[in-house]
Amino acid sequence: MAIKFHYNKSTVQQFQKQLTIREKALPILKNKETALRQEEKKAKSQLRVLRVERSSLEDRLIAFQPFWCEFPDIVTLEDPGVYQKKIVGVNLPEIGKVSFKIADISWWNYPAWLPAGIDLMQRVITLDLQIKFKTLQIDLLDAARKRTTQKVNLYEKVQIPTYEDAILKIKRFLEDKENISKAAMKIVKNRTKRREAV
């Protein structure tokens, strides 16, 4: 990062202010990055558990599949209970209690397996929704972590060293300028003394 600057004290003050802001923000960003990484890891673990549970229901679901063709509209999703949850500054969609609507049917006319089938279908739909939302959360957490990592790297490897280097160059220039002016004043003073002595 190349920054343009003037060799004066006000530029040094501006750069020191910018440097202080970045040095104070860097530990916070590193903590945020760590927290996002941990949340992403936790979400991936939860997703694995949900997928294992979903695959364990797969055999039972396949066994019921021919019967659902006969009774397609008994169970419908009414409300997935979606809300926003903020984790480490990232808004994540979260699924709450999933509500289902069961059609008004005469239970006497339907087979005995139907209540078990309805429970299974509700569980599978709930798991599918939870997997979908957990995957979305992981994607959002991953994107936020990557942005935070980029910002940490930008501050740590580019901006802070650039500001430090610029401040050092300006201070050296100003010191050299002051030393030259002091030397020039001494020379003028010595010449004046010599002229007065003659």
Element (H, E) at 5: none
pLDDT in tens, 151-188: 999 999 999 999 999 999 999 998 988 888 888 888 88
**Rounded Cα gap, residues 78 and 81, in angstroms:** 9
User: Are the C-beta atoms of residues 5 and 166 closer than 8 Å to each other?
Assistant: yes
| SS3 category, 7 | coil
Question: What radius of gyration do the chain's Cα atoms show?
Answer: 35
Nearest Cα neighbor of 145 from 40, 47, 28, 23 is: 40
Nearest Cα neighbor of 74 from 108, 119, 132, 124 is: 119
**Which CATH number is associated with domain 9-104+112-186?**
1.10.287.3240
* Whether this model's pTM surpasses 0.85: no
* Count of Cβ atoms closer than 10 Å to residue 134 Cβ: 21
Element (H, E) at 86: strand 82-87
pLDDT in tens, 69-120: 666 677 777 877 888 999 888 999 998 888 888 877 766 666 677 777 778 8
pLDDT in tens, 27-76: 999 999 999 999 999 999 999 999 999 998 887 777 777 666 666 677 77
**Rounded Cα gap, residues 182 and 23, in angstroms:** 35
